[in-house]
Amino acid sequence: MDLRWQRAELLELCDGYTADDAQGEPAGTLKDVRIAVQGGYLHIAHPGDDRVQIVSAPGVKRAVYLAADN
């Protein structure tokens, strides 16, 4: 299954969840990332980086993105 990626301005994770920021440091808040939802998981990638991180959907507090990816 192909993932449908879109740009997120902001991604906040719930307490106890982290993902690496663009510098490779664990963070609970990420800015300007690409996200894709698949089967209860959120895939996260930084622009220009092929590495994908996966967080369980219940670990996502808030995601801010445009309704239409431009």
Residue 29 inside a domain? The answer is: yes
Region at 40 (left for phi over 0; alpha for psi -120 to 50; beta for the rest): left
Tens digits of residue pLDDT in 40-62: 999 999 999 999 999 999 999 99
Domains held by the chain: number: 1
Residue 45 inside a domain? The answer is: yes
DSSP 10-58: EEEEPTT--EE-TTS-EESEEEEEEEEEETTEEEEE-TT----EEEEGG
Residue 41 inside a domain? The answer is: yes
Residue 70 inside a domain? The answer is: no
CA distance 20 to 62: 17
Contact 19, 41 (CB under 8 A): no
Mean pLDDT in residue range 18-39: 96
Residue 60 inside a domain? The answer is: yes
Predicted TM-score of the model (pTM): 0.89
Residue 59 inside a domain? The answer is: yes
Residue 32 inside a domain? The answer is: yes
Range of the domain at 60: 6-65
The predicted pLDDT at position 70 comes to 55
Residue 1 inside a domain? The answer is: no
